[in-house]
Amino acid sequence: MIPFERFTLSNGLRVVVNTDVRTPLVAMSLMYDVGSRDEDVSATGFAHLFEHLMFGGSVNVPNFDTPLQLAGGVSNAYTSSDVTCFYCVLPAENVETAFWLESDRMLSLAFTPKSLEVQRKVVIEEFKQTHLNAPYGDVSHLLLDLAYKVHPYRWPTIGLEVQHIEQATMEQVREFFFAHYAPNNAVLALSGNITAERAAELAEKWFAPVPRRQVMSRHLPQEPAQAGLRASEVHRDVPADAVFMAFHMCDRLGADYPICDIISDVLSNGRSARFPIRLVAQKQLFSSAEASVLGSVDPGLLMVSGMLNPGVTFEQAEEAIWTELADLRTVTAEEVLKVQNKFVAGITFEEISAHARSLTLAEFELLGDAYMANARESTQRRVSHQDVIRCAAEILRPENCSILRYHANA
């Protein structure tokens, strides 16, 4: 349970505050409602580029990190398909430094050619290292493009192709910033040794002067239901053959989302899960086999993957996976209870950290209501083994599946 207070500034910025006087620190998370799904297909990778540009200097602060570090703080950021989040942790007595820095880059970036060129090179190098040159690095590009045909989830956060970042202009950068980075398109969450009254005072001082903006409205194409099995094969210089499968599932707030989460945990969360025991240890078909949900805001994917052992054919591997997926009809109440207990333990451990609490509050407030963060346990507990059997039968079907066969060159 994360106790909190919240309020909204006149410019639309939502502020959520969790007070914890046991810690000498304050964690701040500023989460913007913009991700790679908000990009144009001809200019992808911009949300991730902005994650980097936001550290390249704002209108009044030439360098973000230096004053924060002088105040004893650390910071970082991440970009997903749905959101971009900037977070920091610093001593409570210096928390005003974070308010000053974050509000200034919300007001406006410096938009200097030097900053754009520096961050462009950094992002291009990251693209090459993690997606073009890394083993299995292009899996997300290939599998998402196979699973999605119209929704912008069909490209990964890094972007469709490196040329989009290479060709980004200052005009495009300015347009993207002022269309998405606004107080009325963000949530500020704080956790630690700060009261709601102090947070309100500092928010009014530093963030209230940032003007409300006309945020670009979101009209995303809806992905049509998949009507048949899709499959693709590639050959790469990688250590082992691998198979990747994607099944369409509901959105983040869908009634079946916690059920899909439990399905993935029953299959692969921990050594006692079904995949590690049956596919890896007993049948020895895979060196590893995993299942997960993407957790996306719009209808997402339940992913299944496995690294094949030498001598195992794709036919053998896929048959074994399909057998395990079909065998979810035998899931027991005890199996579901085990993963539910593990889920609750994970939440309990997570909530020890002020940083984790601030991220969680920001995420759920942006989803619609921070109170959902405190309903996670009860939501998971309501799932029965009959729910798992029903949901698995509905989504884990060949006609709802996209398969990528990743061959290792001999």
Task: Give me the domain span that covers residue 78.
Answer: 5-206
Q: Are residues 44 and 172 in the same domain?
A: yes
The C-alpha atoms of residue 143 and residue 404 are separated, in whole angstroms, by 6
Per-residue pLDDT tens over the stretch 334-388: 999 999 999 999 999 999 999 999 999 999 999 999 999 999 999 999 999 999 9
Report the CATH number at residue 9.
3.30.830.10
pLDDT score recorded for residue 99? 98
Q: What is the pLDDT of residue 303?
A: 98
Q: Say if residue 59's pLDDT is above 90.
A: no
Does pLDDT of 111 surpass 90?
no
Q: Answer yes or no: do 269 and 129 share one domain.
A: no
161-218 pLDDT, tens digit each:
999 999 999 999 899 999 999 999 999 999 999 999 999 999 999 999 999 999 999 9
Q: Can you tell me the distance from the alpha carbon of 46 to that of 84, in angstroms, rounded to the nearest whole number?
A: 11
Are 383 and 262 a contacting pair, CB within 8 Å?
yes
Count how many residues are written for the chain.
410
The per-residue pLDDT for range 208-246, each reduced to its tens digit, is 999 999 999 999 999 999 999 999 999 999 999 999 999
Where does 108-245 have alpha helices with state H? 113-127, 139-147, 162-166, 170-180, 196-206
Residue with tokens 């899709």: 230
Question: Residue 366, CB half-sphere, CA atoms under 13 Å: how many?
Answer: 27
pLDDT tens digits, one per residue of 371-383:
999 999 999 999 9
Q: What is residue 148's three-state secondary structure?
A: coil
Instruction: State the pLDDT at residue 410.
Output: 76
Q: What is the mean pLDDT of the chain?
A: 96
Pairing of strands 14-19, 186-192: parallel
Q: Please check whether residue 169 lies inside any domain of the structure.
A: yes
Rounded to whole angstroms, the maximal C-alpha distance in the chain is 65
Q: Which two tokens stand for residue 215?
A: 């945020």
Choose one of 171, 206, 241: the last residue of a domain. Answer: 206
Question: Is 214 inside a domain boundary?
Answer: no
- Does any domain span residue 215? no
Digit-coded pLDDT (tens) for 122-154: 999 999 999 989 999 999 999 999 999 999 999
User: pTM for this structure?
Assistant: 0.95
Q: How confident is the model at residue 100 (pLDDT cuts 50, 70, 90)?
A: very high
Euclidean distance between CA atoms 12 and 17, whole angstroms: 16
- Give the number of domains in the chain: 2
How much is the average pLDDT of 48-62?
A: 90
**CB-based burial of residue 273 (10 Å sphere; 0-12 exposed, 13-18 middle, 19+ buried)?**
buried
Residue 112: pLDDT band (50, 70, 90) is: confident
Q: What percent of the chain has pLDDT over 70?
A: 100
Are 321 and 360 contained in the same domain? Answer: yes
Residue 48: per-residue pLDDT: 94
Half-sphere exposure of 284 (CA within 13 A, CB side): 2
198 and 244 in a single domain? The answer is: no
Same domain, 200 and 329: no
Give the residue among 12, 152, 161, 141 at the shortest CA–CA distance from 82: 152
Q: Is residue 212 in some structural domain?
A: no
Count other Cβ atoms within 10 Å, centred on residue 265.
22
Strands annotated E in 250-335 = 286-293, 301-308
Please enumerate in sequence order all residues whose Cβ is within 8 A of that of 136, keeping only pairs 6 or more positions apart, or say none.
236, 238, 242, 406
- What was the pLDDT predicted at 56? 86
